[in-house]
Structure 1
Amino acid sequence: MKSDSSSQESATHSPRLTRNQQAVLDVMRQQADALSAQELYSLLLERQTIGLATVYRALETLKLHGLIKSRMGANGEAFYSLVTPDQHYLTCLQCGQSFLLDHCPVQELETHLQPSVPFKVYYHTLEFFGLCTPCADTKGT
C-alpha cells in the first residue's frame, strides 16, 4: 500500500527536530487516542515547562513533515495523532462519537493517483458526518 510506505518512510527519515518538537512526538507515541493541543499541553506540562503556543508550533511542524496528522472533531476542535495508514470515520454530529471504518474505500484511488501527480502523499482521510443510531432514535429521524 502506498500510504504504508509513505508513513513509514517519513517516520524513518524524519528531519532533525527541536527538543520541544521531539517532546510532543514522544508524548503522542505514548497515547492510543488522538489528542487536542490542550490535552497535549497538559501532558507536556507534567514533564517540562512549555508554552501552549510552542505546542501549536511543534504540531504544525510535525504535520508538515508527515509525522502526525490532525482531524476535526464535530465541535471543530482539532485532534492530533501519529500518521497511521487508512483510518476513516463515521462521526455523529450530536454526541461527537466517532466510529472507525474497518476498510479503506479510497485506497485504489490513492494507488492510481500517487504516480500520476508530482505530489508525495503522506496519508489521506475520509470522514462521514451524520447521527449514530442512539442519537437518531432520540431525534425521531
Structure 2
Amino acid sequence: MVKSNPNISNRQNQILEKLGNCDDELSGQELYRVLHAGESSMGLATVYRNLQVLVKKGLVRSRNLPTGEVLYAPVKRDVHHLTCVDCGITTSLQGCPVKNINLPQSKTKNFQLLFHTLEFFGLCQHCLERQST
C-alpha cells in the first residue's frame, strides 16, 4: 500500500496509489479503467488532468511511445527502456545507467532535481531482420 501524500488531493492520492500498486506503467486509459472498476471511479478527463498535476509535482513520470501513447509510473520506480520504433515493443533495462552521474554544480545549484528519464529507440531483432530482407 502506498502512503498517502498530504500535499496532493484525494484524487491525486488515489491515482498515485493505483500506479504504485501496479507492476508496470499504465496509460491514462488503462488507469481510468482500473479506477473505474474499483471504488475510486473518476472521469477520463479528470484522470488525465490529475496525472499532469502529478507529473508537474515530480511524483509521476511520463514516457511517450512512438505511437503517441503516454505511459505513467511513480518516479520512485526508476526504470528505463529500449523501444523499437517499428513495432513498438519495449524492453525494460535492469538498473539505471545514469543513476550516479555527476551533474555540473553550476547548473544544478538553483535547481531541485525531481526525476530523470532515459529512453533508447531503435529496431528490435525481428524488425531489423524483416527490413533487411
TM-score by length of 2: 0.83
CA distance in 2, matches of 1:57, 1:123: 20
Q: Counterpart of 1:23? A: 14
Matched, 1:34 2:34: no
Q: Counterpart of 1:72? A: 64
Matched, 1:91 2:79: no
How far the C-alpha of 1:115 sits from its partner, in A, is: 6.4
Q: CA RMSD in A?
A: 2.4
CA distance in 1, matches of 2:45, 2:12: 12
Deviations 1:65-85 (A, max 9, x none): 211100011201110001136
CA distance in 2, matches of 1:114, 1:35: 34
Distance 1:88 1:24, change over 3 A: same
Deviations 1:75-97 (A, max 9, x none): 01110001136432211012211
- What is the aligned length? 130
Structure 1: gaps of 5 or more residues:
1-10
**Secondary structure of 2:120's aligned partner:** strand
**Bigger RCO of structures 1 and 2 (CA < 8 A, at least 6 apart):** 1
How far the C-alpha of 1:108 sits from its partner, in A, is: 4.8
Structure 2: gaps of 5 or more residues:
none
CA distance in 2, matches of 1:114, 1:64: 23
CA distance in 1, matches of 2:78, 2:12: 25
Identity %, equivalent residues: 40
Q: Counterpart of 1:62? A: 54
- Larger helix share, 1 or 2: 1
Q: Counterpart of 2:127? A: 135
